[in-house]
């Protein structure tokens, strides 16, 4: 049986250390800011990026990896004797998973040795990270492609992730507002709490940042009560609020989060600075 390698894209926003330790390979999306186009993976100074975003009259644009980018990732892994499970952000907000599927189709036509399977995680950010890390755990334990896919799908089925943004303005300007469209108008002055399924999904509206923070704590509590004891915290330019969420999470779970990280430019362009988010899955899926 050929070993399985996990490929994902740059919108997982776990930590570099975790991805490297799990042996996960990454294909980057792109960010175009003015005349400058860069791979998201090359943008390391988030403070500078978000400072420009706050002042930008026009948002940067983002684009999916090319079919060639995926072939460049897949072909060496197959040649080295691996099968591949490639897991990507929601197809409802990006064509990334479609490009991955097209690359798989070309390899199938060429009758390349080895198996490639592509999975739409129907989420992004920390949610994608949870699905990817669960799949990587199954691969490390010796699972074949079908076992790895089954673990990834179970993680997605048990996943819940919520985030609060300071304003819907970035989502509206970037064309990624999804069903939260119904909250536009006066809702720009409230704190929207959202989730990401196949698209951005509205959960509830609150009036203040303090109330939004407490609702994030409530959602962590609901994860604990549902048996999802593998928990995460993410943020954009809000490290103090993230640290406070981690402190409350410690009280609830009695353990460390799987990771705490900042969301990068591709997703951050559409949500804007100030985001805080929580979520998780059963920790057993990560083992």
Identify which of 9, 47, 46 has the alpha carbon closest to the alpha carbon of residue 29.
9
Q: List the domain range (segments joined by +) for residue 200.
A: 160-286
Q: Which helix (H) or strand (E) holds 217?
A: helix 209-225
The average confidence (pLDDT) of the chain is 92
Assign 3-state DSSP to the chain and report helix, strand, coil percentages, each to 5. 50, 25, 30
Cα distances from 77 to residues 137, 140, 213, in angstroms, run 18, 16, 43
The pLDDT value given to residue 174 = 62
How far from each other are the two terminal CA atoms of the chain, in whole angstroms?
Answer: 21
More confident residue, 140 or 183: 140
Q: Is residue 20 domain-shared with residue 146, that is, in the same domain?
A: yes
Residue 35 within a domain: no
- pLDDT band, residue 167 (cuts 50/70/90): confident
Residues 102 and 216 in one domain: no
Give domain status of residue 57, yes or no: no
DSSP annotation of 228 reads: -
Is residue 153 located within the same domain as residue 175?
no
Question: Stretch 24-29: mean pLDDT, rounded?
Answer: 98
Q: Would you tell me how many other CB atoms lie within 10 Å of the CB of residue 36?
A: 8
Backbone torsions φ then ψ of 101, nearest 5 degrees: -65, -35
Q: Quick one: 152 and 266 in the same domain? A: no
Would 13 be classed as within a structural domain? yes
Report how far residue 179's alpha carbon sits from residue 93's, in angstroms, rounded to the nearest whole number.
Answer: 12
Give the span between the Cα atoms of 161 and 166, in whole angstroms.
Answer: 17
- The reply to whether 20 and 135 lie within a common domain is yes
Taking the C-alpha atoms of residue 220 and residue 197, their distance in angstroms, rounded to an integer, is 18
Contact 162, 219 (CB under 8 A): yes
| 88 and 212 together in one domain | no
Of the residues 135, 157, 179, the one at which a domain ends: 157
* Statement: residue 97 has pLDDT above 60: yes
- Nearest Cα neighbor of 58 from 169, 165, 167 is 169
122: left (phi over 0), alpha (psi -120 to 50) or beta: left
Does residue 203 carry a pLDDT above 60? yes
Looking at 134, 157, 180, which one is the last position of a domain? 157
Beta strands (DSSP E) in 96-156 are 116-120
Please indicate whether residue 42 or residue 206 has the higher confidence score (pLDDT). 42
Residues 156 and 117: their CA atoms lie apart, in Å, by: 16
pLDDT value of residue 145: 98
The answer to whether residues 210 and 250 belong to one domain is: yes
> Are the beta carbons of 70 and 27 closer than 8 angstroms?
yes
Assess whether pLDDT exceeds 80 at residue 233.
Answer: yes
Number of domains in the chain: 2
Does the pLDDT at position 78 exceed 90? yes
Say if pTM beats, i.e. exceeds, 0.75.
Answer: yes
152 with 255, same domain: the answer is no
Domain boundary among 112, 139, 157: 157
- Tell me whether residue 37 is in a domain: no
State whether 213 and 87 are in the same domain: no
The CATH number of whichever domain residue 104 belongs to comes to: 3.40.50.10170
Predicted pLDDT at 172: 74
What number of residues does the chain have? Answer: 287
Shared-domain flag, residues 134 and 175: no
């Amino acid at each position: 049986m050929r070993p399985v390698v996990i490929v994902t894209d740059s919108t997982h926003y776990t930590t570099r250390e975790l991805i490297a330790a799990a042996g996960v390979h990454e294909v980057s999306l792109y960010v175009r800011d003015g005349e400058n186009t860069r791979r998201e993976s090359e943008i390391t100074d988030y403070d500078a990026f978000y400072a420009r975003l706050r002042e930008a009259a026009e948002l940067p644009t983002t684009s999916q990896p090319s079919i060639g980018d995926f072939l460049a990732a897949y072909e060496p892994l197959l040649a080295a004797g691996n099968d591949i499970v490639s897991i990507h952000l929601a197809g409802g907000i990006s064509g990334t998973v479609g490009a991955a599927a097209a690359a798989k189709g070309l390899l199938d036509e060429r009758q390349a040795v080895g198996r490639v399977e592509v999975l739409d995680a129907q989420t992004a950010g920390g949610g994608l990270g949870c699905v990817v890390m669960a799949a990587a755990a199954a691969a490390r334990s010796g699972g074949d492609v079908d076992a790895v896919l089954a673990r990834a799908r179970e993680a997605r089925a048990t996943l819940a992730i919520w985030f609060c943004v300071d304003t819907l303005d970035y989502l509206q300007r970037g064309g990624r507002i999804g069903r939260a469209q119904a909250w536009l108008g006066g809702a720009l002055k409230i704190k929207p709490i959202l989730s990401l399924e196949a698209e951005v999904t509205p959960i509830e509206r609150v009036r203040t940042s303090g109330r939004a923070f407490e609702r994030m704590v409530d959602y962590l509590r609901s994860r604990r009560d549902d048996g999802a004891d593998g928990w995460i915290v993410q943020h954009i330019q809000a490290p103090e609020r993230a640290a406070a969420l981690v402190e409350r999470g410690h009280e609830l779970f009695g353990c460390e989060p799987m990771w705490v990280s900042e969301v990068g430019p591709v997703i951050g362009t559409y949500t804007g600075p100030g985001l805080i988010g929580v979520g998780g899955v059963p920790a057993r899926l990560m083992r």
